Structure 1
Amino acid sequence: MKKLVIIMVVALFATYNGVAQKINWVTFDEALELQKKSPKKIMMDVYTKWCGPCKMLDKNTFHNPDVVDYVNKHYYAVKFNAEGEDVVTYKGKTYSNPNYNPARANTRNSAHQLSRYLQVNAYPTIVFFDEKADVLAPIRGYQKPTQLELYLKLFKNDDHKEMDTQEKFNEYYKAFKPEFKG
């Protein structure tokens, strides 16, 4: 009985601290298929295995309970290794990494063709896509939960459509009141 109580307390503590919560990551191909059945925007985490800020983004931001909850409700979430060997079909074209070197799987490797197509040249980069899988914007660099919240809500609510100048974005940025913790 004592062991059962301890297990329940540990499980409750882990859930309370967000350990049990995870983003529902899918492949890019899966997200594109899911969009056909139930349109949602896509948030793609473009990372590399050797990138320190990518690991921080995953640990500190993508495990934040507020981020997890919001992303799972409003987006298809994709993790994409910018130097990986996946073969991806996007907008009728197939992308791969023909210069991928398996011996360098955990270190710097050749850039994937899709990364180049999306013009990702810094890691991490979060690329947002609309419900038709058209690119909305790449957001470069490490984002804290409250920083990512701004972009998650900006694109989810289509507020970006009103921002045809840097000045309008700056106004939005100044008026934005983060609600996520962390």
Structure 2
Amino acid sequence: MRLATLLWVGPLLAQTGGVRFFTGTWEALLLEAKRQNKPIFVDFYATWCGPCKMLERYTFSNPEVGAFTDKHFLAYRIDAEKGEGPRLANQFRVRAYPTIVFLTPQGTELGRQVGYVDAPAFLSLLKRYAERLNDKQGKATPSWESFQEQYRVFFADLTGQAW
């Protein structure tokens, strides 16, 4: 009996302190983001994707990432190959997994992260995207600045060096 309880409760305990994902529909997510005036990050994943599993296990389970997300974002996970996932993956031009798309509360894309990123780097990304919202109406900064920042992050990931 104790073993059965541990097997059932263990995974729930392991999720404590990490990112809490919104569990409703896409439309409900957008309404909630507008209601709370919070930006969104959407994790597009596939069940067979190794880096997606690493992201879930090592990054999304991090208590600091979870606390920052709860305070500043609505988080949403969607299997890009099931349900409404294929339609949304096509809408957001997702070409690889995992892809995390950052959106304003109104649903306008701020930028994206493709591939695995560890907890400290993801927390840094979350902070940068939260800061990009100029005011409480969720206006995004100019797209050129967004491109430059994405390029810096990509370059740092590619070379292992920041500049």
- Superposition deviation, residue 120 in structure 1: 0.5
- 1:30 equivalent among 24, 28, 31: 28
Aligned-pair identity (%): 30
Larger radius of gyration: 1
| Residue aligned with 1:122, SS | coil
Q: Which residue of 2 aligns with 1:123?
A: 97
Corresponding residue SS for 2:42: strand
SS in 2 for 1:77: strand
Structure 1 position 85, deviation (Å): 1.3
What TM-score results when the alignment is normalised by the length of structure 1? 0.65
| Offset of residue 164 of structure 1 | 5.8
RMSD, aligned CA: 2.9
Change over 3 Å in CA distance of 1:168–1:22 after alignment to 2: closer
- Number of residue pairs matched? 136
Give the Cα separation in 1 of the matches to 2:111 and 2:147: 14
Matches within 5 A, 1:139-158: 139-158=113-132
Instruction: Point out where structure 1 has 5 or more consecutive residues left out of the alignment.
Output: 1-13, 87-96, 98-111, 176-182
* Residues 44-55 of structure 1 aligned to structure 2 (within 5 Å): 44-55=42-53
Indicate conservation of the 8 Å contact 2:111/2:146, yes or no. Answer: no
Deviation at 1:161? 2.6
Q: Which runs of 4+ in 1 moved over 4 A?
A: none
In structure 2, the residue matched to 1:68 is 66
Q: Deviations over 1:38-81 (max 9, x none)?
A: 11000111101111110110000000111011111100000011
Q: 1:121 to 1:167 in 2, by over 3 A?
A: closer
Question: Please, which runs of 5 or more residues in structure 2 have no aligned partner?
Answer: 1-11, 134-139, 157-161
Residue of structure 2 in register with 1:161 after alignment = 141
1:79-113: CA deviation from partner (whole Å, max 9, x where unpaired): 01100113xxxxxxxxxx7xxxxxxxxxxxxxx02
CA offset at residue 169 of structure 1? 6.1
Give 1:19 deviation, angstroms.
4.8
| CA–CA distance in structure 2, aligned partners of residues 150 and 74 of structure 1 | 13
The alpha-carbon distance between structure 1 residues 47 and 168, as it changes in their structure 2 partners (threshold 3 A), is closer
Question: Taking structure 2 as the reference length, what is the TM-score of the superposition?
Answer: 0.72
* CA drift at 1:170: 3.7
CA contact (8 A) 1:120 1:138 kept: no
Instruction: Please state whether the residue corresponding to 1:147 is helix, strand or coil.
Output: helix
Structure with the higher fraction of residues in helix conformation: 2
What corresponds to 2:137 in structure 1?
Answer: none
Q: 1:73 to 1:50 in 2, by over 3 A?
A: same
